[in-house]
């Protein structure tokens, strides 16, 4: 789910496989604690890494990021680290790659107000390129970055900048923190509901996304069935790459009454669909009345 790239692909989607030329997908799932097995990843020029990530809502631990930084150093790779969801982190997971010693020598960090402040469409973000980051010949990466940005970009609009300043004011920042807490409580409601049915549910702890697994099922089939039976739109995991097959992503962005109603519908649907299978596994399905409450 985390792609590594050597150079831009000229081959496009390879015959419907979901993979592209010169791009290496680092599959992440429960079996590797949603962090790639770096021992089997070949060297690449660029490593794209997002934490907390979308769609799984998983935040990399400090130890995992230390491994990533060491991997980049040993391979002379540059990490492009996306921290757009960092404000949603609830535990001690790092909010920035630069919390890791040595990261300034191998990483660029990008972030945005899109997720933190609901700025999607307004477009306001930032990039941190450390002076310590250099090519193998010693030339600073920041000089190339500065040239590209100054050539291709005239700066964010005044309206977007004014909105950003309002978000970072004392009152604005507190208001946004309250909204983030609200969305994370929404996620907890959804996760608790799925866990009450003993389903394979991940995420919802450090980002407002829930990653629900249906082993042996097509993610598009699950998406279609849920849409038809509950009128709820989820996102097929296959859309995020081959490793997402069998999963769907559920978002906790929304009004509380909508989240509660969606949780009620999904629990009822999933109980009816999977309760007998659970009984066969000896796990039981609980009481239907209590599940709906």
Give 6-61 pLDDT, tens digit per residue: 333 344 455 555 566 778 888 888 888 889 889 888 888 999 999 999 898 899 99
- On the question of pLDDT at 170 being above 50, the answer is yes
The three-class DSSP label of residue 79 is strand
β 247-251/209-213 pair status: antiparallel
Give residue 17's pLDDT.
56
Q: Note the pLDDT tens digit of each residue in 220-266.
A: 999 999 999 999 999 999 998 888 999 999 999 999 999 999 999 99
pLDDT at 276: 43
CA–CA gap between residue 237 and residue 211 (Å, rounded): 8
Give the span between the Cα atoms of 56 and 211, in whole angstroms: 5
Q: State the pTM of this model.
A: 0.84
Separation CA 1–CA 55 (nearest Å): 9
pLDDT of residue 103: 98
Q: What is the pLDDT of residue 15?
A: 54
Give CA–CA dist 35/202, Å, rounded.
Answer: 13
Output the pLDDT for position 64: 95
Q: What is the pLDDT of residue 13?
A: 53
Strand ranges of the sheet holding 200-203, from the earlier edge strand across to the other edge: 200-203, 209-213, 247-251, 235-236
- Rounded CA separation 197/278 (Å): 9
Pairwise pLDDT comparison (278 vs 55), residue with the higher score:
55
What is the pLDDT, as a whole number, of residue 24? 83
The pLDDT tens digits for 182-230 are: 999 999 999 999 999 888 999 999 999 999 999 999 999 999 999 999 9
Following DSSP, what letter does each residue of 97-111 receive, concatenated?
GGGSTTGGGTEEEEE
pLDDT in tens, 59-109: 999 999 999 999 999 999 999 999 999 999 999 999 999 999 999 999 999
pLDDT of 154:
87
> Is residue 246 a contact partner of residue 216, using CB atoms and an 8 Å limit?
yes
pLDDT at 164 over 80: yes
Query: What confidence score (pLDDT) does residue 1 get?
Result: 39
| CA-to-CA dists, residue 167 to 87, 119, 138, angstroms | 13, 10, 38
């Amino acid at each position: 789910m985390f792609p590594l790239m050597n150079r831009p692909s000229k081959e496009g989607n390879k015959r419907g496989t979901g993979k592209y030329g010169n791009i290496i997908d680092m599959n992440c799932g429960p079996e590797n604690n949603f962090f790639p097995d770096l021992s089997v990843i070949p060297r690449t020029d660029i490593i794209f890494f997002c934490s907390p990530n979308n769609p799984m809502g998983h935040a990399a631990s400090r130890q995992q990021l230390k491994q990533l930084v060491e991997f980049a150093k040993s391979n002379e790779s540059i990490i492009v680290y996306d921290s757009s969801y960092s404000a949603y982190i609830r535990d001690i997971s790092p909010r920035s790659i630069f919390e890791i010693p040595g990261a300034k020598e191998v990483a660029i960090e990008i972030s945005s107000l899109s997720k933190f402040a609901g700025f999607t469409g307004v477009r306001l973000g930032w990039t941190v390129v450390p002076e310590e980051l250099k090519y193998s010949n010693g030339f600073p990466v920041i000089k190339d970055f500065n040239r590209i940005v100054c050539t291709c970009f005239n700066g964010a609009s005044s309206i977007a900048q004014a909105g950003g300043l309002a978000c970072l004011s004392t009152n604005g920042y507190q208001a946004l923190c309250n909204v983030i807490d609200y969305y994370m409580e929404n996620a907890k409601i959804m996760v608790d509901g799925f866990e009450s049915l003993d389903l394979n549910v991940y995420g919802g702890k450090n980002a407002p996304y829930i990653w629900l697994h249906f082993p042996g099922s097509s993610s598009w089939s699950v998406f279609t069935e849920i849409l038809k039976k509950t009128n709820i739109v989820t996102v097929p995991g296959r859309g995020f790459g081959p490793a997402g097959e069998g999963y769907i992503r559920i978002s906790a962005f929304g009004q509380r009454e909508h989240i509660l109603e969606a949780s009620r519908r999904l629990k009822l649907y999933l109980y009816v669909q999977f309760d007998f299978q659970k009984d066969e596994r000896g796990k039981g399905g609980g009481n239907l009345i209590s599940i709906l409450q």
